[in-house]
Amino acid sequence: MRRSGAISALAIAAAVVVTSTVAADGSPGRGDDERAVEQALHDRQPTNVIVLIGDGMGVQEITAARYYQGVRNKLNVDRLPLTGFDTTWSVKPAPKAPYLPDYDPDSASTGTMWATGVKTLDERISQGPSSAIDVPGRNYESVMEKAKKRGQKVGDVTTAELTDATPAVQGAHISLRGCQGPADMTACAKETKDVGGLGSIAEQEVDNHFDVLFGGGRNRFTQTVTGGTDKGRTVVDSATRQGYQYVTDAAGLGKVDSRKPVLGLFTPSTMSVEWSGPAASTGKGNAPATCVENQRPANEPSLADMTTKAIKLLENRRGFFLQVEGASIDKQDHATNACGQIGETVAFDKAIGVALDYQKAHPDTLVVVTADHSHTSQIVSEDASGTGLPTGYSTNVVTKDGQTLTLAYNTAGYGGPGAPPVATPPSQQHTGAAVPVWAIGPRATDVLGTNDHTDLFHTLGG
């Protein structure tokens, strides 16, 4: 379990080092950082919790976004005064504990870690491990479900399908992440409502009566429920029967109020990316090019807009818990789309700014920023000279400093030892590196040092 109660001497020392370093260089914001450290050292539960997940946003991904924006222009994430690292390993199937580690996890297992405090199998949503992937494990209550029981308002916001792994870990329990809607339950036959189970991820998210659900994935919720009270209705119909306001675009989002819960499904699948740019190619890659920004359709709210609205809807005297995911950092990393990846990281950083502005006005709020797992992109080859580039795929983009930034993708696509990669890059792979964790607010010192993703569960209020 993560350190709690009296803050350890090591944590205090680390906090002092942070403050002293800021003071020594005379940089702006010295007073803010000192106050943030003092606040974090108070061992009390926060009134509000905002956890922001950059899917696949390892050190290289956040650094690429920082460099693209200009090395002298700080990101919002750089405003967070306390930083640590979390390990993210999952476990392999086994008849009983101890379960052997899987060093390169997926979003379902890593999300389950901070949501429930439990290590589990890849592809599993807030269920414990078992002897095989087709054998359901024990359901574990999520930190957001616990907050709801305490009488707090709760919200789940993402740019992915709402039924994708990271948002799902807070509001569903199922053995395989692919069982997202009633029509997707073939692999989860033992967990359908027809046989007395909780049903698909979409059904469970609605049945959990969270106050705010924003994201993509409308096609999962327009599927027909096959068992229980709402048999024959769509999941959207089930939601409206249970009192949800239902909206499908940015204009509709602007009109909802806090009197009833809100289900916002803004696209049929994953929401649109913010930026576009040159495709990855083999070897040295393309001639350096600038990313094309502002590509998101006007009818889709930005992640920052969804975060702003969610906070307004959730704010109340008893406090709230909000999870926000920048999902397509990961998806564009898989696709070797450097501009898409950087643009999604920048958009996620704007949502971080919304959370930090709220925290500054409400210091009883804990804000935690992290990634579910690390990913494939690597910053290589200064100025794209081509010297020493690894065999694989790369993209060259011109930063706002007027310099070339080369991102290489080399975790998939080889035909064997010595063989060149195929022309069209296949989906790249996650990596097992520890991920950064940033925090501000009550209990923020919990993130200092190197911990495990399961420890975040306790920091967040589990």
- In a 13 Å sphere around the CA of 313, the CA atoms on its Cβ side amount to 29
Query: How many residues comprise the chain?
Result: 462
| Euclidean distance between CA atoms 338 and 105, whole angstroms | 22
Quick one: tokens of 187? Answer: 């692999």
> SS3 for 199?
coil
Give catalytic status of residue 107 as yes or no.
Answer: yes
| Euclidean distance between CA atoms 213 and 150, whole angstroms | 19
| Euclidean distance between CA atoms 231 and 288, whole angstroms | 55
Q: Where are the alpha helices (DSSP H) in 200-337?
A: 201-207, 218-221, 235-241, 250-255, 303-314, 328-334
| Euclidean distance between CA atoms 436 and 370, whole angstroms | 6
DSSP letters for 397-435:
EE-TTS-EEEEEE-SS---STTPPPPSSPPPP--B---E
From the list 8, 27, 90, 107, the catalytic residue is: 107
Neighbour count for residue 240 (Cβ, 10 Å)? 15
Write the burial class of residue 143 (CB in 10 Å: 0-12 exposed, 13-18 middle, 19+ buried): buried
Alpha-carbon dihedral sign for residues 144, 147, 151, 156 = negative
Give the end-to-end CA distance of the chain in Å, rounded to a whole number: 11
Catalytic residues: 107
